[in-house]
A and B are shown apart, each in its own frame.
Chain A
């Protein structure tokens, strides 16, 4: 196979070994990684304390999950009709309905015309 360069796309990301940011060992990246690790460790500690608490009886509620649920439900307060929004809404909401209506109407009209002219084979037709 020829040596073509791997280009990442929306559904196929760059592997870590080809990513130059992986080999970045500057001080800022190291500090950022340390901060992220500190946050993760703190969250892990909080979770494990609740998990292994012998007096705990119910579920451990996850504020990240609650926030995600809340955000996914309450989309309308942040909604604002823009031209792009309205166009997409019309295209995906009303477009298919009109399209299907046109197709079915055309098909049925053609069949009706054939029946009126007597050209359609209706030997085994049960409905009228």
Chain B
């Protein structure tokens, strides 16, 4: 009994030591140095002068010539760069990206609509035929089929038919007539 107690006590002590060791590795929330990203590195207002343009390009880690911004229409973009509207499908699949599923590198400016241009969603990669040719083919076919179905509905064409001929004197008994009475004979043929 005493040995069991000692073993339990030792296990308890070891557990506490392990906890202390591990807690040193965990970084406490709020214990980060606050100087990692400063306020001026965040997106700001619409740039108006050349210096603001250059500063914005430097902030977003782009070349000044590459940096285009959205037009100032009050839509809320600010000085965020306007990257080409290309989907992530078009990025090189064989390059070793830092985030292969998003085909994105660390620190690279992200497109405003990146969540739309992921590989699960909108795809802007080149199609085999131009867009207007594809539209013409699809809508042309649909329009033609709609027209043909409408025309067929308007002017139906089928084999000539006559009224259906039933046996047993035009189903005299099945139609509920009096069984004691003799039905009039119904002849459907002519020899």
Contact = CB atoms under 8 A, between A and B. Distances in A.
Interface in A44-92: 44, 46-47, 57-58, 60-68, 70-72, 74-82, 84-85
Interface of A: 4-15, 32, 35-36, 39-40, 43-44, 46-47, 57-58, 60-68, 70-72, 74-82, 84-85
A76 B73 contact: no
A35 B105 CA distance: 16
Interface of B: 25-27, 36-37, 41-43, 45-46, 60-63, 65-66, 73-78, 80, 85-86, 90, 98, 105-110, 112, 114, 122-127, 129-133
Given A13-B86, A64-B108, A7 B130 contact: yes
5 contacts: A9-B132, A36-B63, A63-B107, A70-B42, A79-B75
Contacts, number: 125
Nearest to A39: B61
B98 A12 contact: no
B contact face: mostly helix, strand, loop, or mixed? loop
Contacts of A6: 126, 129-130
Contacts of A79: 74-76
A78 B78 contact: yes
A4 B131 CA distance: 12
A85 B133 CA distance: 33
Nearest to A88: B75
Contacts of B63: 32, 35-36, 39
A57 to B, nearest CB: 5
Contact of A7 (B65, B73, B74, B132): B132
A78 B69 CA distance: 13
A123 B41 CA distance: 70
Contacts of A57: 25-27
A14 B66 contact: no
Contact of A80 (B36, B74, B130): B74
A125 to B, nearest CB: 33
Given A67-B42, A82-B74, A44 B105 contact: yes
Given A7-B130, A68-B114, A70-B42, A46 B37 contact: no
Contacts of A47: 98, 105-107
Contacts of B74: 78-82, 85
B78 A64 contact: no
A8 B189 CA distance: 71
A71 B61 contact: no
A76 B45 CA distance: 11
A79 to B, nearest CB: 5
A65 B110 contact: yes
